[in-house]
Structure 1
Amino acid sequence: MRKLTANQNSAPQTIGATGVSRKHESAPKHVAGEAIYVDDMLEPRGTLYGAVGYSAIAKGRITSLDLSAVRASEGVVETLLVEDIPGHTDIGAVFGGDPILTSDEVKYQGQPIFVVVAETEQQARRAVKQAKIEFETQTPLLEVTVALTHKQFVRPSHFMHHGDAPKALEQAPHRLQAEQHVGGQEHFYLEGQVALVVPAEDGGMLVYSSTQHPSEVQKLVAEVLAVPVNRITVDMRRMGGGFGGKESQAAAWACMAAALVLKTGKPVKLRLPRVDDMSMTGKRHPFYNTYDIGFDEQGLIQGADIMVAGNCGHSADLSDAIVDRAMFHADNAYYLPDVSIAGHRCMTNTVSHTAFRGFGGPQGMMIIERAMDDIARAVGKDPLDVRKLNLYGPDGRDTTPYHQKVEHNVLLALMEQLEQSSDYRKRRDEITQWNKTSRILKRGLALTPVKFGISFTLQHLNQAGALIHIYTDGSIQVNHGGTEMGQGLHTKIIQIVAEALAIDPNEIQITATRTDKVPNTSPTAASSGTDLNGQAAKNAALTLKQRIAECIAEQKGCALETVSFAKGRIHWGDQSESMSFAEAALFAYVNRVSLSATGYYKTPKIWYDREQAKGRPFFYFANGAAVSEVVVDTLTGEYKVVGVDILHDVGRSLNPAVDRGQIEGGFIQGMGWLTTEELKWNEKGVLTSNGPATYKIPAISDTPKRFNVDLFERDNDEETVYHSKAVGEPPFMLAISVWSALRDAIASLADYRVSPPLDTPATPERVLNAVMATRAAGQKEAV
């Protein structure tokens, strides 16, 4: 029988479905304080509260552990040590190396040693401080360059090659080398790590966890308790932010709480205070990068040798894939005809660093963007002209270092559109003149592009499921494997299902992500939440649409092709007869048609041969560009971002308002990473930037006065859900334009002949050091 899916990616027909701005489905609850997070849930009677005791040193051994004062503290019910764990004690996400608790070796400051559970949260937190722990302290390894020299790695290195880089470098008319330190970043989600675990029948447990990966939490809790996975159900309604920090690192706290439930027989909640959260959870990987690049008189790259080295912390966590993605994006938007890229995963005695928006891509892009600015200074050209000259393009300039062809390349058109709309050339002339006469304040301008690959680079994660129920009153309940962390995933999926069924989105309710509704889910990460889960939900909706249409055709005696869905009604025959969607739902039920369906989707075309470092790891690329303008006080190093213009490629936008919000938020978060957010460990390996007083995220006052965001209007050429494109991570990297603009302003001190050394975060101190170094280099060159 004919399927009603012939044009399933056709333009939207339902008012209020896809392609229109619709407020976040939980926005009113967020504003009113009515949105329920894990810590807001009504707790079962008898709930106990946990607190974690952790190491005060970064490297060494525990020589004595006395918890007698802890157990004697007011309200304490029980303690948990590693020997109390009945099942697995290593909860490493992929490779192992992450013990749930340690009893001997210490590898980082903040490593959990024991957990205490008490009648109140305050009692637990007071009790945990009564522990008497003695250590044999060793000298921690804290510098990535030292780890690199001594080959202290958490995973083997990986290498990519395209062409003959050594020969190209040797023959190039000009050659530059440079190194770069790129700082890490604290996730600083508003809702910290938290889990509430409730005992159930047959040794089962219901786990409420603030996690981006419910299925992983389910699996690890089951392994820690030594029970089958089907005994554990994970429920996740919403997170108060995640940014990657709850992809792998939410599991430990759920596992600890579950082990305490097993030991006490009572519900247990474990919520980390901010200081503990920042000490015990991973950050964005700091990176140390180098390049050796050859180019001609125009600035066209001839060959490149690039190295990226991630500071992974004490264990692998997700570092293998994160450094891979840094390597995949070390080219950013530029064709490197002969190139070698090395990626190293360095071990240090810090908390194990983890996923963060961009997943290594931003750190990889930084080295090639530094090279673009450096080449421009060397050949005396505007950096924008050097960037445009080196873009991927036709005529054989379309193959990445990992041998994927860059199809559907829109970057040149996008950048030129932004160049015009932002008045880049006019502003460049004005700024150059200003800097000639302004002795102290210097202005800078930069336009930088983003080409970001969309797909998990671990192939099997590129799949998703969904479950849809239609009730007899026509209302719809949707469940899918993605998690909502404020990014509007549920909002978009409501719109997608409404579009597929041609109904009002207000008839659709999204329920909490639960492992007993949609099993074996992938994490909500890699910007793939809508691509995967939206397509799975759409497929489920189309299955139900087909069933209802077949029922009407059979019962009304008309041809299936005459059945049509539009604006909440179903028509058939000569279209003169119709019924509402609610009437059709009841009609189908009365005629014994199943109104529940699952949907499934797996990303096509993708593959990667790691042995050969060749393949197509990405289904498509998301693109964008940003122009940033800054003003720098060369006496103090202080600066301000005064203007930003963004043009970003989201394909056919499912929800322009949500997409713009993601672009704006991603840019500001990226700006924070590159300017104010500085992670600091002291010489003993103790994190000192462990709270909002010592770690500075951007404030509303840091938002530029001129902040223009436009969407690049072009459908995705690939068959994504309604030809949309991912928008979670790519805008983050637009903020590289701020760092480039700072370097541009500083370069004016040497008449743009010197490329300033400026590691990130570009704090005022680092900017002032770059000012002095550039001024000295300019004077030396003049002599």
Structure 2
Amino acid sequence: MNKPAQPLAPPPGATETAGFGRGLPPSWPEAEWPALRDGRRVGVSAPHESAHLHVRGQAPYTDDVPELAGTLHAALGLSPLAHGRLLDLDAARLRALPGVVDVLTAADIPGVNDCGPVVRDDPILAEGTLRHVGQPVFLVVATTRELARRAAARAAEVVHAEPLPAVLTARAAHAQGQYVVPSMHLKRESAPGALDAALRAAPHRLRGSLQVGGQEQFYLEGQIAYAMPAENAGMRVLCSTQHPSEMQHAVARALGWMDHQVQVECRRMGGGFGGKESQSGLFACAAAVAANKLGRPVKLRLDRDDDFLVTGRRHGFDFDFDVAFDDAGRILAYDVTLIANAGHSADLSAAVMTRAICHVDNAYWLPEVAIHGHSARTNTQSNTAFRGFGGPQGALVTEFVLDSIARRLGLDALDVRRANFYGVGQRHVTPYGQGVTDNVLHELVEQLAHGSRYAARRAEVAAFNARSPVLKKGLALTPVKFGISFNVPHLNQAGALVHIYTDGSVLVNHGGTEMGQGLNTKVAQVVAHELGLDFAQVRCTAADTHKVANTSATAASTGADLNGMAAQDAARTLRQRLAGLAGERYGCRPEAVRFAHGRVEAGGTVLPFAELVRQAYLARVQLWSDGFYTTPDLHWDAQTLQGHPFYYFAYGAAVSEVVVDTLTGECRVLRADVLHDAGRALNPALDIGQIEGAFIQGMGWLTMEELVWHPQSGLLLTHAPSTYKIPTANDCPPDLRVRLFDNPNAQPTVHRSKAVGEPPLLLPFSVLLAIRDAISAVGEHRVDPPLRASATAEAILDAIEAVRAGVAATEAVASATVAA
């Protein structure tokens, strides 16, 4: 591809405060002015394109769209049983209620009663069997949302079912061999039998288990779909979704239509985190089926309780491990079993488990290794994508194991981690066969350890604990290596449309969705940079399946990588067309034409960009272009779990210091230092914001967000903010230091940037292991704390009690030995 033309100097008196919103120029930091003067529109901290709307409460979401005349409202009737045989539904009783227009069941779905994204095992409305408490059984459509909800709330009275035995835990399902997809096994040995031999012969061996709970996405905007019948057997669906194309396919299947009859649009989401990748399908389908049957617009918006009860979340995992290591803590052999709670259907569990397996290594060389992955089928909500997509669970168990190895050997955990880091030669190949060729872990960790005063603070923490009998401090440094790309190769593609209007303004449409992460801002920056325009001249519009077709989900941290490159491709085509015209008219080579600051210089002539565009229009030069991008060098064998699934790796590390009250189990994070690799950041401010948000979200998962199901009924007890707690401002570390590691991507991504959505969620492993370090101090680091995650106050107290019991047992054995 041709390189962008060199930028022009800004015109005299030009301001450096041009922004995305006309009439609303942001206040730019003085540090950004030189880059803006040079014509750069990437690598600068442009404000989020909707920030001024967000803070004023003027950013419209799906529920804010003015309702069409005749709009009806829907609510879901939910299963009262965790498992049962559906016998009958007294729909007539519900239809007689005030305001109820109709009650729909599975029999009313004209096409396929299924919204499963991969495996067709996920009914829109229950048919024959009830699979979990909260499964949608029927849909009430009424004149108002309140009347629909009142009718739907009577589900327990009208649903007649025969109870069946329910399986509520992954361990129980695993014991019964009950899975949603076939189990996966990845094994690497230097020779047949080498793994078992190394486990038997190693100087040290450790066996154990770990339990890690799931996590609710807790997007601020709940699941919602607004379906509007269109002319000639068409349907327009406004939907809060990360995957408009998947919603289009699902709605078309449910209606028995072709895809071109269905238009799905999403301007923005109030958060997604993966919970709106596949699971928005049920709501889009239900609303569309009702709208088609009744010939009127239908809106389906869940309240928070129903959202929790219907939808899935991050998979909880159980782990069993057997590890052999030497006196320096280097892993010699590692056998680990992963058991995920998949819920009642497959959803995306196969891909989640694949990524978990591919991240068990995290930052470390594993010479002899076997990884076994089982996706257990339980009578609970079907778990789904969540930021990290299995990667955090897979990496966490190995960090936990290394922490235990260090304690067993009496070594600093950071020294053990360094001893196991990927290196050179044979030590840079992952268990799935991909080389770690862009490794910056050594220098990144060294820079963080030095800047955070890790060694000195380790001594300070020990001194504090020696004189403090009740409060105990802990400190931990953990690294991250996270693969970037969808682990299903064909999903690594994106398209974009870029239009230049005759006044010189630009409209961009791409296949990604905006959920607050700043994707539209970054894509607009890329296009503005390519065409030499100010930010106010470029606008991104809503994701729309009638504009860019066959899109991939905005997930796997690939939003900017894929859509930024596609938009750049389209904008570059337009620039080359305009440069060709300018070169012809002003007597220079097209590659010598320069675009910057909304102006064009060609052959000594300088003219406004808009003037050249008008000339191009009169000369019948095409002023719109499509762009397309596919990630290169990806391949994957799902049977052998071998290949090159990731285009590159993102790296990072964090140091966390905590204090634990050993009487109450209360914990506080005192300070966190983060150094993260975002490549050559497209927008440093947005990237730092993503890192901060991911750190707090991951910290919440590992320290306070606990999911509890009733052990007999299977009801999710933590189904509202009153019982499910996420971090608040008061839980944030009072001292949070986040910096970007200077490391342009080795791969030719868009402006050599790196993905920053998911990888930082692994950084708060340091918080969990710092808590474990503090608990360990109760027993003077002689007993390995059996701490589970989420490390709630109860979990911390359980671990403290176990440590004290372990110390007492050790002392009793020692006394008995002396007496003997």
TM, length-normalised to structure 1: 0.98
Q: Which residue of 1 aligns with 2:514?
A: 484
Say if 2:620 is the partner of 1:622: no
What is the aligned counterpart of 1:286 among 316, 322, 325? 316
Q: Which residue of 1 aligns with 2:165?
A: 139
**Cα distance in 2 between the residues matched to 1:699 and 1:717:** 37
Say if 2:714 is the partner of 1:685: yes
Say if 2:526 is the partner of 1:496: yes
Once the two structures are aligned, what percentage of the paired residues are identical? 52
Conserved 8 A contact 2:39-2:596 = no
What is the aligned counterpart of 1:116 among 135, 140, 146? 140
- Secondary structure, aligned partner of 2:182: strand
Measure how far apart 1:314 and its partner are: 0.6
**Deviates most, 108-117 or 522-531:** 108-117
Q: Could you give the per-residue CA deviations for residues 554-597 of structure 1, whole angstroms, max 9, x where no partner exists? A: 23333223212222211112xx2111111111111111100000
Q: Could you give the per-residue CA deviations for residues 99-158 of structure 1, whole angstroms, max 9, x where no partner exists? A: 111132011111111101111111111122344122211221012111112210110011
Q: Which residue of 1 aligns with 2:734?
A: 705
Q: Which residue of 2 aligns with 1:65?
A: 89
Measure how far apart 1:8 and its partner are: 11
Q: Which residue of 2 aligns with 1:76?
A: 100
Q: Could you give the per-residue CA deviations for residues 440-480 of structure 1, whole angstroms, max 9, x where no partner exists? A: 10000000011100000001000000000000000000000
Aligned partner of 1:738: which letter?
V
Q: Which residue of 1 aligns with 2:631?
A: 603
Measure how far apart 1:16 and its partner are: 5.7
Q: Which residue of 2 aligns with 1:161?
A: 187
**Deviates most, 209-218 or 754-763:** 754-763
**Cα distance in 1 between the residues matched to 2:5 and 2:408:** 53
What is the aligned counterpart of 1:107 among 131, 149, 153? 131
Aligned partner of 1:615: which letter?
G
Say if 2:484 is the partner of 1:454: yes
- Secondary structure, aligned partner of 1:207: strand
Alignment of 1:322-341 (within 5 A): 322-341=352-371
Conserved 8 A contact 1:67-1:130 = no
Measure how far apart 1:64 and its partner are: 2.6
Say if 2:79 is the partner of 1:49: no
- Secondary structure, aligned partner of 2:428: coil
Alignment of 1:242-281 (within 5 A): 242-281=272-311
Alignment of 1:631-650 (within 5 A): 631-650=659-678
Measure how far apart 1:170 and its partner are: 1.9
Conserved 8 A contact 1:445-1:627 = yes
Q: Which residue of 1 aligns with 2:539?
A: 509
Say if 2:567 is the partner of 1:569: no
What is the aligned counterpart of 1:35 among 40, 53, 59? 59
Measure how far apart 1:188 and its partner are: 0.5
Say if 2:366 is the partner of 1:368: no
Say if 2:725 is the partner of 1:696: yes
Q: Which residue of 2 aligns with 1:590?
A: 618
User: How many equivalent residue pairs?
Assistant: 778
Conserved 8 A contact 1:207-1:235 = yes
Structure 2 residue ranges without an equivalent (≥5):
8-34, 815-820
What is the aligned counterpart of 1:765 among 778, 794, 814? 794
Q: 1:478 to 1:630 in 2, by over 3 A?
A: same
Moved over 3 A (4+): 3-9, 11-16
Q: 1:293 to 1:756 in 2, by over 3 A?
A: same
Q: Could you give the per-residue CA deviations for residues 515-572 of structure 1, whole angstroms, max 9, x where no partner exists? A: 0110000000000000000000000000000100111122333322321222221111
Q: Which residue of 1 aligns with 2:178?
A: 152
**Deviates most, 131-140 or 684-693:** 131-140
Measure how far apart 1:69 and its partner are: 2.4
**Cα distance in 2 between the residues matched to 1:27 and 1:513:** 19
Q: 1:480 to 1:277 in 2, by over 3 A?
A: same
Q: Could you give the per-residue CA deviations for residues 178-201 of structure 1, whole angstroms, max 9, x where no partner exists? A: 101110001110000000111111
Q: Which residue of 1 aligns with 2:756?
A: 727
Aligned partner of 2:627: which letter?
G
**Cα distance in 1 between the residues matched to 2:408 and 2:153:** 57
Measure how far apart 1:714 and its partner are: 1.1
**Cα distance in 2 between the residues matched to 1:559 and 1:305:** 63
Structure 1 residue ranges without an equivalent (≥5):
none
Measure how far apart 1:12 and its partner are: 8.9
Aligned partner of 1:780: which letter?
A
- Secondary structure, aligned partner of 1:358: coil
**Cα distance in 2 between the residues matched to 1:195 and 1:487:** 21
Q: Which residue of 1 aligns with 2:767?
A: 738
What is the aligned counterpart of 1:558 among 582, 588, 594? 588
**Cα distance in 2 between the residues matched to 1:654 and 1:237:** 22
- Secondary structure, aligned partner of 2:425: coil
Q: Could you give the per-residue CA deviations for residues 395-417 of structure 1, whole angstroms, max 9, x where no partner exists? A: 32101110111011001110110
**Cα distance in 1 between the residues matched to 2:104 and 2:87:** 18
What is the aligned counterpart of 1:518 among 539, 545, 548? 548
Q: Which residue of 1 aligns with 2:3?
A: 5
Q: Which residue of 2 aligns with 1:342?
A: 372
Conserved 8 A contact 1:218-1:233 = yes
Aligned partner of 1:657: which letter?
A
Q: Could you give the per-residue CA deviations for residues 370-420 of structure 1, whole angstroms, max 9, x where no partner exists? A: 111100011110101101111101132101110111011001110110001
Measure how far apart 1:697 and its partner are: 0.4
Aligned partner of 2:739: which letter?
D
Q: Could you give the per-residue CA deviations for residues 167-216 of structure 1, whole angstroms, max 9, x where no partner exists? A: 22122111101101110001110000000111111100110000000000
What is the aligned counterpart of 1:714 among 718, 737, 743? 743
- Secondary structure, aligned partner of 1:312: strand
Aligned partner of 1:633: which letter?
D
Conserved 8 A contact 2:133-2:309 = yes
Conserved 8 A contact 1:12-1:18 = no
Q: Which residue of 1 aligns with 2:32?
A: none
Say if 2:266 is the partner of 1:236: yes
**Cα distance in 1 between the residues matched to 2:637 and 2:79:** 41
What is the aligned counterpart of 2:702 among 674, 677, 693? 674
**Deviates most, 722-731 or 744-753:** 744-753
Aligned partner of 1:240: which letter?
G
Conserved 8 A contact 1:14-1:502 = no
- Secondary structure, aligned partner of 1:190: coil
Measure how far apart 1:778 and its partner are: 2.2
RMSD: 1.4
- Secondary structure, aligned partner of 1:587: helix
Q: Could you give the per-residue CA deviations for residues 598-654 of structure 1, whole angstroms, max 9, x where no partner exists? A: 000000011112222211100001110000110011111111111100000000011
Q: Could you give the per-residue CA deviations for residues 327-373 of structure 1, whole angstroms, max 9, x where no partner exists? A: 00111111101111111111110010000000001111111011111
**Cα distance in 2 between the residues matched to 1:439 and 1:749:** 8
**Cα distance in 1 between the residues matched to 2:765 and 2:351:** 22
Conserved 8 A contact 1:444-1:744 = yes
**Cα distance in 2 between the residues matched to 1:566 and 1:84:** 58
**Cα distance in 1 between the residues matched to 2:804 and 2:105:** 58
Aligned partner of 1:357: which letter?
R
TM, length-normalised to structure 2: 0.94
Conserved 8 A contact 2:77-2:154 = no
**Cα distance in 2 between the residues matched to 1:726 and 1:462:** 14
What is the aligned counterpart of 1:389 among 419, 423, 429? 419
**Cα distance in 1 between the residues matched to 2:804 and 2:41:** 57
**Cα distance in 2 between the residues matched to 1:609 and 1:456:** 14
**Deviates most, 578-587 or 448-457:** 578-587
Q: Could you give the per-residue CA deviations for residues 55-102 of structure 1, whole angstroms, max 9, x where no partner exists? A: 011001122311222101111111111111111112211011101111
- Secondary structure, aligned partner of 2:422: coil
**Cα distance in 1 between the residues matched to 2:2 and 2:425:** 41
Aligned partner of 1:652: which letter?
R
**Deviates most, 503-512 or 161-170:** 161-170
Aligned partner of 2:283: which letter?
W
Say if 2:558 is the partner of 1:532: no
